[in-house]
């Protein structure tokens, strides 16, 4: 057990009851909805716990949370944990097939569902007759009406008498689903201690968060990255979080930053690019922000440089995962290097190995393994995948990395995104960064396509800015631009223009869909 973490701990008591007792009138939630003090939020979570208990929730039961970022989300999450149940937040903009998967996979006995998601959710829930539904907001009666409780009414009538269920630091606390950038989402089970580990190691020892900070995360709470940024990081130091229930938009984010004046800003690379594009069209004020953080995917050096030039802020890039809960390799304030995600966060170890498991030297590309106390316990219901991913305390990330002579880590691509061209490794990220250096390129993704002989060749999918000229649209200009920056074998064999890149709800590019598109266009898949 990590030093300083009690053997008996419950995240609801630690992250809500503790701050509510120490500073009850301090603002916990600001933003687009009503503000909540820590005392008000703790009481709301107590009422949620009472509502769940009255509905028969037992320790270990899974509680599906289908809510936008809001006080209700946080109350439901900690309310479930308070009873010893296991909260499972999922994307409230999912579709029927996703909800069917979440319900069947978790066997959830309770779901808290936002009214905007009810139409899709109710179609899926017909196959889960034992799941009780709390409806947040107004919606017409439907086929689930006999199984629906109104969330507001349930909270108002709930008892506040129940205490916090006695849980140990290693007990299962919550389940987070992977983003699905590589296919079907998997549920990663995390223990009560894991949030405390991430808050101490990253939020406090790397970012130096404190009680006067105001934090705004574009990434949502159902995502592991956003859950830390927007909930337990600020609560760990008694700070304020800004919540926005709407789908992320660059123009809206700039308005929220200007209106609410956050000091710490969290986003993903694709959204930083969107912010820069929006800033070209309207006033953008980041003067309140002292720290800007990026994760979810590697931050291209070009985006780093453009953001620093425009706003005078260096973006701290980092890599984390749902399996490790949050960031485990990170840039440091004042020492960020474009194109690198930094060095291991205190409390974590990282190494790069070859296919046989032997550790590689500086400059060699290999598989990244990480070890730390916030590692997931298991994939829910998939023991064979857990065994392949967790090996002697190390977690196989599925990412290809290299470490330079100064110890800085550089992302080279997902293991299944890397390609060998003319016998040499090509990193999609390197080629994408070269493309992003062109003034008319907004986004780019590079995947492997295979010719009739089964040989790989890089193919680029490019989204152009609205200002792009006709000569760029011919692709010749782009190919020449990249050839001037990269060795010939790394350059895209073909550039294909598309209106948007396929992404997960958390902003990650779904390269496997682009590989499928390349194959459907007549390419032959790589032989095994």
Same fold for the pair 11-177 and 419-520: no
Say whether pLDDT at 472 is over 60. no
Say whether pLDDT at 93 is over 70. yes
Confidence of residue 527 (pLDDT cuts 50, 70, 90): very low
Q: Where are the domains of the chain?
A: 11-177, 209-231+239-376+388-414, 419-520
Contacts of 184 (CB under 8 A, 6+ apart): 101
Say whether pLDDT at 182 is over 90. no
Higher pLDDT, 169 or 449: 169
Say whether pLDDT at 489 is over 80. no
Domain range 11-177, CATH class: alpha beta
CB 289 within 8 A of CB 267: no
Percent of the chain with pLDDT over 70: 91
Q: Taking all residues of the chain, what is their mean pLDDT, rounded to a whole number?
A: 90
CB 56 within 8 A of CB 30: no
Say whether pLDDT at 86 is over 60. yes
Say whether pLDDT at 73 is over 60. yes
Question: b vs e for 94-122, b when ≥16 Cβ sit within 10 Å of the residue's Cβ?
Answer: beeebbbbbbebbebbbbbbbebbbebbb
Average pLDDT over residues 454-458: 76
Say whether pLDDT at 506 is over 70. no
Length of the chain: 528
DSSP H helices, 205-300, are: 224-227, 233-237, 250-260, 269-279
**338-384 confidence digits (pLDDT tens):** 999 999 999 999 999 999 999 999 999 999 999 999 999 999 999 99
The helix/strand/coil state of 401 is: strand
The total of other beta-carbon atoms located within 10 Å of residue 464's CB is: 19
Q: In terms of Cα–Cα distance, which of 218, 198, 219 is closest to 209? A: 198
From CA 196, how far away is CA 210, in angstroms rounded? 15
Confidence of residue 144 (pLDDT cuts 50, 70, 90): low
CB 300 within 8 A of CB 313: no
Cα–Cα–Cα angle for 158, 85, 26, nearest 5°? 60
**CATH superfamily for domain 209-231+239-376+388-414:** ANL, N-terminal domain (3.40.50.12780)
If you ran DSSP here, which 8-state letter would residue 244 be given? -
Name the CATH architecture for the domain at 419-520.
Answer: 2-Layer Sandwich (3.30)
Say whether pLDDT at 278 is over 80. yes
How much is the pLDDT for 477? 82
Q: Look at phi and psi of residue 375 and say left if phi exceeds 0, alpha if psi is from -120 to 50, else beta.
A: beta
Confidence of residue 524 (pLDDT cuts 50, 70, 90): very low
How much is the pLDDT for 528? 31
**405-453 confidence digits (pLDDT tens):** 999 999 987 777 777 776 666 778 888 888 998 988 989 999 888 776 5
Q: In terms of Cα–Cα distance, which of 125, 148, 15 is closest to 75? A: 15
- The C-alpha R_g of the chain, in whole angstroms, comes to 23
Q: In terms of Cα–Cα distance, which of 276, 249, 252, 373 is closest to 323? A: 373
Higher pLDDT, 90 or 449: 90
How much is the pLDDT for 508? 75
Q: Give burial (CB, 10 Å; 0-12/13-18/19+) of 24.
A: middle
How much is the pLDDT for 510? 83
CB 30 within 8 A of CB 241: yes
Say whether pLDDT at 467 is over 80. no
How much is the pLDDT for 449? 85
Q: Tokens 């269920």: give the residue.
A: 165
Q: Tokens 């960020």: give the residue.
A: 336
List the beta strands (DSSP E) in 170-295.
172-177, 187-191, 214-217, 240-243, 264-267, 291-294
**Beta strands 214-217 and 240-243, pairing class:** parallel
Element (H, E) at 308: helix 301-311
**200-258 confidence digits (pLDDT tens):** 999 999 999 999 999 999 999 999 999 999 999 999 999 999 999 999 999 999 999 99
The helix/strand/coil state of 19 is: helix
Confidence of residue 456 (pLDDT cuts 50, 70, 90): confident
Higher pLDDT, 456 or 20: 20
**279-322 confidence digits (pLDDT tens):** 988 889 999 999 999 998 889 898 999 999 999 999 999 999 99
Handedness of CA 106, 107, 111, 113 (dihedral sign): positive
**102-133 confidence digits (pLDDT tens):** 999 999 999 999 999 999 999 999 889 999 99
CB 264 within 8 A of CB 290: yes
What is the dihedral angle through the alpha carbons of 206, 436, 257, 291, rounded to the nearest 10 degrees?
20
Average pLDDT over residues 400-406: 95
The crossing angle, in degrees rounded to 10, of helices 118-125 and 96-106 is 50
């Amino acid at each position: 057990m990590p030093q300083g973490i009690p053997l008996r701990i419950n995240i609801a008591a630690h992250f809500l009851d503790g701050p509510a007792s120490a500073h009850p009138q301090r603002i916990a939630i600001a933003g687009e909805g009503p503000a909540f003090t820590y005392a008000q939020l703790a009481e709301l979570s107590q009422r949620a716990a009472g509502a769940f208990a009255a509905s028969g929730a037992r320790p270990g039961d899974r509680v599906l949370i289908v809510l936008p970022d809001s006080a209700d989300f946080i109350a439901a999450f900690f309310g479930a944990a308070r009873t010893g149940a296991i909260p499972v937040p999922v994307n409230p903009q999912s579709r029927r097939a996703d909800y069917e998967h979440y319900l069947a996979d978790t066997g959830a006995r309770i779901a808290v569902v936002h009214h905007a998601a009810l139409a899709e959710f109710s179609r899926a829930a017909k196959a889960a007759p034992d799941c009780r539904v709390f409806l947040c907001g107004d919606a017409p009666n439907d086929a689930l009406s006999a199984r629906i409780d109104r969330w507001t009414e349930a909270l108002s009538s709930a008892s506040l008498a129940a205490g916090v269920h006695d849980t140990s630091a290693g007990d299962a606390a919550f389940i987070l689903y992977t983003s699905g950038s590589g296919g079907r989402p998997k549920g990663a089970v995390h223990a009560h201690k894991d949030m405390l580990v991430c808050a101490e190691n990253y939020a406090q020892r790397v970012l130096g968060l404190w009680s006067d900070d105001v934090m705004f995360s574009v990434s949502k709470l159902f995502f592991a990255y956003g859950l830390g940024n927007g909930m337990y990081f600020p609560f760990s130091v008694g700070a304020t979080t800004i919540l926005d229930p709407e789908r992320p938009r660059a123009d809206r984010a700039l308005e929220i930053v200007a209106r609410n004046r956050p000091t710490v800003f969290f986003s993903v690379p694709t959204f930083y690019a969107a912010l820069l594009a929006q800033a070209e069209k309207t006033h953008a004020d980041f003067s309140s922000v002292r720290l800007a953080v990026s994760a979810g995917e590697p931050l291209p050096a070009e985006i780093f440089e453009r953001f620093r030039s425009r706003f005078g802020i260096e973006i701290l890039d980092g890599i984390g995962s749902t399996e490790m809960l949050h960031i485990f390799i990170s840039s440091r304030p004042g020492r960020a290097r474009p194109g690198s995600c930094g060095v291991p966060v205190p409390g974590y170890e990282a190494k790069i190995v070859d296919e046989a498991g032997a550790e590689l030297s500086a400059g060699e590309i290999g598989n990244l393994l990480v070890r730390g106390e916030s590692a997931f316990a298991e994939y829910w219901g998939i023991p064979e995948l857990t065994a392949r991913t967790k090996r002697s305390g190390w977690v196989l990330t599925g990412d290809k990395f290299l470490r330079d002579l100064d110890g800085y880590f550089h992302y080279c691509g997902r293991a299944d995104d890397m390609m060998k061209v003319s016998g040499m490794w090509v990193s999609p990220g390197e080629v994408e960064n070269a493309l992003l250096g062109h003034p008319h390129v907004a986004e780019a993704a590079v995947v492997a396509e295979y010719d009739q002989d089964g040989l790989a060749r890089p193919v680029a999918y490019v989204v152009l800015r609205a200002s792009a000229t006709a000569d760029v649209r011919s692709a010749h200009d782009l190919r020449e631009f990249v050839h001037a920056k990269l060795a010939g074998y790394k350059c895209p064999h073909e550039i294909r223009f598309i209106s948007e890149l396929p992404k997960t709800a958390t902003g990650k590019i779904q390269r496997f869909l682009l590989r499928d598109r390349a194959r459907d266009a007549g390419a032959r898949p790589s032989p095994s």
